[in-house]
Amino acid sequence: MRGLVLFDLDGTLADTAPDLGLALNLQRERHGLPMLDQAVIRPYASHGSKGLLGIGFDLTPESPEFAAMRDEYLALYDEVYVRAPTLFPGMADLLERIENSGLRWGVVTNKPRRFSQPLLEALALDQRMACLVCADDVSRPKPHPEPMYLACSQAGVLPKDCIYIGDAERDIQAGQAAGMPTIVALYGYLDLQDQPWSWGASYVAHHVDQIETCLVAWQQSLEPEFVASIDEEAGA
């Protein structure tokens, strides 16, 4: 039995957009700007401080003030990010079913460990994971495959026996580069510029419950078209 299901954190496993958005709005308030609606912020929540400062302040990493604003944002996020962490609806049940099926699961994220570890502890998931790889655990984060290889090393499995689930193009690229099948989570934080159907993911999950269908197809070595046909029958 193939043994390891890997999740991205923000926008795939946990719905962290509310706290990421809260920190951004606190920062905008500090700079005399009105709050942004969460619906405006949400599509950028998987893009880290780069995406959030872009939508919140029209900054890019090349902007002279970017580094200072990023540090300020992270300090504000540090104050709020474990207030009310939330898994996506259906995710808690999915993790239980994964474990009950004999599979293990872990997390590979570009989020720094200073936030990832306490967040997963607050969700009471830290003792259940087979591995946790964060951006600062590697020299080259996603889309490079280095984090994927480290996760495999931590869990003691080969990349071919893993599958990676994420909501950003870099997630799919990292999984593919490591030789893993991938699932794109369409319920995550995609913006209007994203074109997930062009990313080449092995499977597509419109919502959390569909991940299990994808995992069954992966376990049985069924082609991606199997999941597509299920989607059509369900009217997804």
Residues assigned a catalytic role: 8, 10
Residue 79, CA distances (Å) to 60, 70, 176 in order = 24, 15, 35
Handedness of CA 162, 164, 169, 174 (dihedral sign): negative
Backbone angles phi, psi at 106, to 5 degrees: -155, -175
End-to-end Cα spacing for the chain:
29
Q: Is 105 helix (H, G, I), strand (E, B) or coil?
A: strand
- The answer to whether residues 174 and 8 touch, using CB atoms and an 8 Å cutoff, is no
Are 18 and 119 in contact by the 8 Å Cβ rule? The answer is no
* Rounded Cα–Cα distance for residues 73 and 57 (Å): 11
Alpha-carbon torsion 92, 124, 84, 43, what sign? negative
CA dihedral 38, 41, 44, 49 (to 10 degrees): -110
